[in-house]
Structure 1
Amino acid sequence: MTELLDATDSQTAMLADLVDSVRAVEETIARLSAVRDGMLAIASRIAVDVARQASHPDQGDMAVRSVAAEIGAAVRASDRTIERRMDAASWLVEAFPAVWAAQGAGRISAAHAQVIADAGAHLDHALHREAYAARAVEAASVESPNRLRRIARRIAEQFQPRTVTERHRDARELRRVWVKDLDDGMAELGMLGPAVLVHGMHDRLTRMARTITLENAQATKASTEETGEPDTRTTDQLRADLLADLVLTGSPVGHDSQTGVLGKIHARVEITVPVLTLMDDDPGASGSPPAELDGRFPIDTDTARLLAGGVTGWERVLTHPITGALLAVDRYRPSDQLSRHLRARDQRCRFPGCGIAARKCDVDHTHAASHGGETCADNLAHLCRRHHMLKHHSPWHVRHRRVGDDRGEHENDDTNAGRAGDLIWTSPTGTTYIDRPPQQNAVTFTEDNPP
């Protein structure tokens, strides 16, 4: 490549200055990240000290949650995210002070520090961690985080007092499956498990996909006339389709009970779709909003129609034609009217920053029923188990805003016009945060766009 050979001396000098500036900015970011980690570690320590002073039986867990919720609400982030950051910062600052100091000096980045901390997570002895950190920081000063990961693991292995077999037994306890929502109606399914099983699963899916591809090719070659559209799916696409088919239609023969109860469990999802979207041949062109999964992200209209056509009953959400506000929820088949209304209104946990779907949450009395609180929409809200516990076992307080309630709280957004259904949370430091029900996925009309 000879493109840069044509650069003038001034352009080359400018490029050199830019490179130096980017390096300086990266060092500054590393220092600031170290400062933030130090602050988060201090916040975690304060929470633990408060719990220790009061001899809390949970060893400070609820105090840490409360502090994380305070910081999360202040910076508009999930308190779960803040608590994970607090844990990571405490581990880095307390277990690997030399690594934290190197990051604070700008010698290594936050990504380098994370790699070193992760690779040395199983080193229990302080002297072993100290010796490991010194060598890892030296390697980090000349390597990228990606290259450092393998080097750090090799260095840490030299200080491991336990065998791989012993550590694997502990690591197996962390196996789990999770879902990450993506754009365009897609989501990602992840799994953490023993490497042998995971690679075995992937290999079986690959063999099945290649067998389908081979059979399709042979059938196409043997056929003298075209019988339909050829299967053009790639190996990756076939693996994904096969995995979905196996999980959704297969039976857990290795875990099921004698009554086969696990095999009778079917997948459940909740879809909200405007009726005009179901009726419209081209909802995108007409401006009708797309269907939503769990009230959180859109899905394609074809899938929404397929699911709507296969269910035995629909829950109808009635909204105001101008504002789109929720008016009522009903269903032709008898069921719990109030519960459906709350699910449609809340859609997710009502603690600031939390996005757990309402169907996974508890329905909580804001004013306790044991103290005279009514069982009505103005005194009920969905809270995930984490924030349900936080409400009852920490200094956080909450109340419903009712119609006509115009107290002058300092709200956590730029909108001062409150409405019924709002939850007013007060943190341990006295700061007020307003959590409003999400906007409904519905068509709204204005004077310029009448129904």
Structure 2
Amino acid sequence: MSSVDGIPSQRPAPDGQAASAESLLLNKMTRAELLAKVLSAEAERARMDALKLRCVAVLADSSAGSIRSVVGELAFALSMTKVAAAKLIGVARDVTGRLPGVLGLMDAGKLDYGKAAQVSDALSWLSDDKVGAVDAILVERLIGKDPRGVRRCANKLAAQADPDGLERRAAQKRAARRMILTHRDAGSARLAVEGPAEKCAAAYTRIDRLARKLSLSDKSRTLEQLRADVMMDLCLSGKEGISERAEVFVYIDYLTLAGIRKEPGFLAGHGPIPASTARNIAAGSKSVLRRLITDPATGQPIDLGRTRYRPDKALDEFVRVRDRECRAPGCTRPAQVCQLDHAEDWVAKAGETNQDNLASLCQDDHKLKDEPGWRYALDGDATLTVTTPTGDRYSTKLEPLHEPRYTDEQPPPGCAGQHAA
């Protein structure tokens, strides 16, 4: 077994025969032996987490260019969001620079990244002269606690260390109130609000009271369903029991819209939704339907071109409809809230203003594109390739709106002269 900086590295993935032998060995172990194996694997992961944090901290502090560039490259390399990459950098700097006790627990295999991140966030507002004392106490109190227990312990010690700072922290938290939309799967999403605890509790009480009142006459929905429906109705119309329209981009095949097929629809910023959900949205009294013609051989929208710098309304709408979401790897912000940008710069590289050189980028990714060493290129099929300052390349290819449909006149690639199945 090799090691890096004295920390054992993981073994290469076993082949089928070795994996089978290992499975047989595990099947012969007692329950206690298997649990010991699990604990050993967790300890090894904690030690590797410590190594990762050291590497990330050095990368962030020694790299040329802005921190935005480092965040973007780390996000692409680890296939994570930029928010997660920025958090990883923050935790790495904090743990390696201000929390030697926490880092020592990780080196000893007693604390993983998730728990270390909880401590880092809970103590982030403490000054350097106060955080050291808290870190020293935490070393004796964190072992054996679950993530929630770790956070509560760190919060309590931080509050005791700086009561005045806690007042400022509370004011900052209340000022940072926000609403969060998290897309899930199968046509569902989570809508949450972070704000003053007393107002959140009061809002929940009101929603719960209205839901319970409706439950007396509505037996078709559970109480949980009623709470969710009441909150949505209050947000959209100000009244419970009345729904309202919102502006979203939904893609649905014409034959599915007609009820002939059951192809899933696509909700920009979310992903696939059931055909019935897409049809219900399209059937809304205030829904606006627009025809989008696709190439039957590729499933992609048919393109069009312009020559001016600022795209006209038709080109702007087409690029957003084609892209559906931000084109940067890993980003799913809907195209309608993105900015259109030239892959080949219009000024420096005389890039044309047409669908072959325009891509939808959210504000963060638009700024990242302008960082030194970053290069963006669009291929003929609208595949966007991003080259980072270290030379790594990441590509995003548009998923077809429907599966390619081949004919005798237009056979699949590589099958010229053959009949399509």
Aligned-residue offset at 1:234: 2.1
Determine whether 1:103 maps to 2:106.
yes
Rounded Cα–Cα distance in structure 2 between residues aligned with 1:295 and 1:115: 29
Residue from 247, 272, 277 that aligns with 2:256: 277
Determine whether 1:33 maps to 2:49.
yes
Alignment match, 1:64: 67
**Structure with bigger gyration radius:** 1
Letter in 1 for 2:54: G
Aligned-residue offset at 1:197: 0.6
Determine whether 1:315 maps to 2:295.
no
- C-alpha distance after superposition, 1:124-182 (max 9, x if no partner): 1x342122112222111233333333333222222114164433211112211111111
Determine whether 1:432 maps to 2:393.
yes
Aligned-residue offset at 1:318: 1.5
**Cα–Cα, structure 1 residues 121 and 67, in superposed 2: closer, same or farther, change >3 Å?**
closer
Aligned-residue offset at 1:391: 1.5
Rounded Cα–Cα distance in structure 2 between residues aligned with 1:23 and 1:393: 43
Rounded Cα–Cα distance in structure 1 between residues aligned with 2:39 and 2:392: 39
Rounded Cα–Cα distance in structure 1 between residues aligned with 2:369 and 2:110: 43
TM-score with structure 2 setting the length: 0.81
Q: How does 1:70-109 map to 2 (within 5 A)?
A: 70-109=73-112
Alignment match, 1:306: 280
Rounded Cα–Cα distance in structure 2 between residues aligned with 1:386 and 1:123: 29
Structure 1 contact 348–355 (Cα < 8 Å) conserved:
yes
Rounded Cα–Cα distance in structure 2 between residues aligned with 1:180 and 1:362: 21
Aligned-residue offset at 1:95: 2.1
**Cα–Cα, structure 1 residues 349 and 210, in superposed 2: closer, same or farther, change >3 Å?**
same
Alignment match, 1:442: 402
**Cα–Cα, structure 1 residues 280 and 108, in superposed 2: closer, same or farther, change >3 Å?**
same
**Cα–Cα, structure 1 residues 69 and 122, in superposed 2: closer, same or farther, change >3 Å?**
closer
Q: How does 1:350-429 map to 2 (within 5 A)?
A: 350-371=327-348, 372-402=350-380, 420-429=381-390
Letter in 1 for 2:148: N
For residue 19 of structure 1, give the secondary structure of its aligned residue in structure 2.
helix
Q: How many residues align?
A: 373
User: What CA RMSD, in Å, does the superposition of the two structures yield over aligned residues?
Assistant: 2.8
Q: How does 1:156-167 map to 2 (within 5 A)?
A: 156-162=158-164, 164-167=166-169
For residue 178 of structure 1, give the secondary structure of its aligned residue in structure 2.
strand
Rounded Cα–Cα distance in structure 1 between residues aligned with 2:187 and 2:234: 21
**Cα–Cα, structure 1 residues 307 and 22, in superposed 2: closer, same or farther, change >3 Å?**
closer
Considering Cα pairs closer than 8 Å and 6+ residues apart, tell me whether 1 or 2 has the greater RCO: 1
Structure 1 contact 289–443 (Cα < 8 Å) conserved:
no
Rounded Cα–Cα distance in structure 2 between residues aligned with 1:400 and 1:301: 31
Aligned-residue offset at 1:211: 1.7
For residue 370 of structure 2, give the secondary structure of its aligned residue in structure 1.
helix
Rounded Cα–Cα distance in structure 2 between residues aligned with 1:70 and 1:116: 26
- C-alpha distance after superposition, 1:263-319 (max 9, x if no partner): xx96311110011111125x4xxxx42111116422233332232233464222222
Residue from 201, 205, 219 that aligns with 1:231: 219
Rounded Cα–Cα distance in structure 1 between residues aligned with 2:233 and 2:192: 16
Alignment match, 1:45: 61
Residue from 181, 184, 188 that aligns with 2:183: 181
Aligned-residue offset at 1:12: 10
Rounded Cα–Cα distance in structure 1 between residues aligned with 2:334 and 2:407: 34
Report runs of 4+ in structure 1 exceeding 6 Å deviation. 447-451
Structure 2 contact 207–231 (Cα < 8 Å) conserved:
yes
TM-score with structure 1 setting the length: 0.76
**Cα–Cα, structure 1 residues 149 and 374, in superposed 2: closer, same or farther, change >3 Å?**
closer
Alignment match, 1:24: 40
Letter in 1 for 2:47: R
Structure 2 contact 181–190 (Cα < 8 Å) conserved:
yes
**Cα–Cα, structure 1 residues 81 and 148, in superposed 2: closer, same or farther, change >3 Å?**
closer
Determine whether 1:121 maps to 2:124.
yes
Rounded Cα–Cα distance in structure 1 between residues aligned with 2:138 and 2:247: 47
Rounded Cα–Cα distance in structure 2 between residues aligned with 1:25 and 1:45: 30
Structure 2 residue ranges without an equivalent (≥5): 1-26, 305-311, 409-418
Aligned-residue offset at 1:447: 6.4
Alignment match, 2:229: 241
Letter in 1 for 2:383: D
For residue 189 of structure 1, give the secondary structure of its aligned residue in structure 2.
strand
Aligned-residue offset at 1:328: 4.5
Letter in 2 for 1:274: D
Rounded Cα–Cα distance in structure 1 between residues aligned with 2:273 and 2:236: 19
Determine whether 1:190 maps to 2:165.
no
Rounded Cα–Cα distance in structure 2 between residues aligned with 1:356 and 1:117: 28
